[in-house]
Amino acid sequence: MISESDKINQLAELGFEIAQPKGYKPHAVERLFRESVKAVIGFRGMKLSSSDYKSAVSGRIQKTIDRMGDDQAFVPGRKDVDKKADEFADYFVDQILNDICEGKPGRLKKLSNNLADGYYSATLRIRREYWKDRKLQREEAK
């Protein structure tokens, strides 16, 4: 089982596999998370199944990737983005909406800024580790 503190970190890992944000602007770094929140709270009071929420989040993520310019993020595997978006959506709905927010979109909306702060920090850490590992691999290859 994933501990409470690891859920945001794991979500950031999944998001980083989809799109690696360029720059440090919170809007760009948190974009996948924020779009996922919008996908859920956009139903305003309608109670949907987990499967429907997952489809909505995945669709929103896929459209977001299509709309992102090359100046906003690097997308390493565009052909696999649908599969990665499904994985991100599954995790987001199961662990963030249903577990942390107890299946309540209103609670998700209330907690979204604090959760986004954690997502931001985790993404920057992941990016820092990614580039550190890449640098080590290049040095070892010499």
Q: What is the pLDDT of residue 37?
A: 98
* pTM (whole model) above 0.85: yes
Predicted confidence (pLDDT) at residue 122 exceeds the cutoff of 90? yes
Task: Give how many domains the chain has, as a whole number.
Answer: 1
Mean pLDDT calculated for residue range 105-126: 96
Q: Cβ neighbours of residue 120 under 8 Å, at least 6 residues apart?
A: 26, 29, 30
Q: CA–CA distance from 39 to each of 22, 43, 50, 61, 97 (Å)?
A: 23, 8, 13, 9, 11
Q: How confident is the model at residue 110 (pLDDT cuts 50, 70, 90)?
A: very high
- Please say whether the beta carbons of 123 and 16 come within 8 A: yes
Q: 14: domain range?
A: 4-141
Q: Which residue bears the tokens 């009071």?
A: 45
